[in-house]
Copies of this chain bind each other. A is one copy, B any other.
């Protein structure tokens, strides 16, 4: 461990190549890499201090990184640090700031006049309320409704800016004049976070259930930035986190029973877990069973109880 290391900072040429470059998003947002520390090699270096001298040659870097990520040995990933410059609507920033393990410096609308731009929604981008998921969206408004929604948005954003500027002209303090700015107003931020916590952020915000606005930022950060910075960690993250499939105890028991061809046993597990109760028409809706069914679908397995229900419906 005490061997001299070469007296240069670790650099990642693929990331250096995009340092400072603006990746644009939304009507006026962007993400830029300002600085970074570490790389795949730094993860390995930190992990190996745990193993002491003797093991340096025994594991290859990629394999070690994959092992660490698979087994949630998270501390070596904290040894890498990324600093981004973001331009993001305040509405998305309200979600972003909930991740508490980052360092933040934000554009101050106490000190400076608020950024003029607000996020603009084009007529074909108004999403409809999801029916199944109370906090999601699905489908789009038609273009005629969309055009009217966009027209009204422009009207509101214009009035909001007009009122803001009137206040400034009247000498109202910036800290108070801003009080009615719309959440769509852009803010800018320096955001610094370590790789472990960044991957946690990405796992939550690249998820299909994340709101589209922040999901676009997260996806860009993952696919354009992390993939260049720490390619082994990024690959492992996709294989072991993003595209992983978590089975609960109940699900594992059901799958074991189904694998053994014993669907009665599978149904018994579900019944004990209260996931197979009869309703007025066939099975009662049960969210946990739906989740299981989706996982079985991904594993290419049939759900005997669904067939039962289908048969029940077909019966005269």
B-binding residues in A (CB < 8 A)? 1-2, 4-11, 16, 19-22, 30, 34-38, 42, 45-47, 49-55, 66-67, 70, 75-76, 78-79, 81, 83, 85, 87, 89-91, 94, 97-98, 100-101, 103-108, 110-113, 118-119, 121, 126-130, 134-137, 141, 145, 149, 152-153, 155-157, 159-160, 163, 166-167, 170-176, 178-184, 188-190, 192, 194, 211, 238-240, 243-252, 255-257, 259-260, 287-288, 291, 298-301
Contact = CB atoms under 8 A, between A and B. Distances in A.
Given A105-B75, A108-B52, A176-B127, A7 B1 contact: no
A256 B176 CA distance: 37
Contacts of A166: 149, 152
When all copies of this chain in the complex are counted, the total is 4
Contact of A130 (B21, B134, B173): B173
A103 B79 CA distance: 7
A248 B256 contact: no
Contact of A248 (B21, B35, B149, B244): B244
> Chain A binding site: helix, strand, loop or mixed by DSSP?
mixed
A223 to B, nearest CB: 16
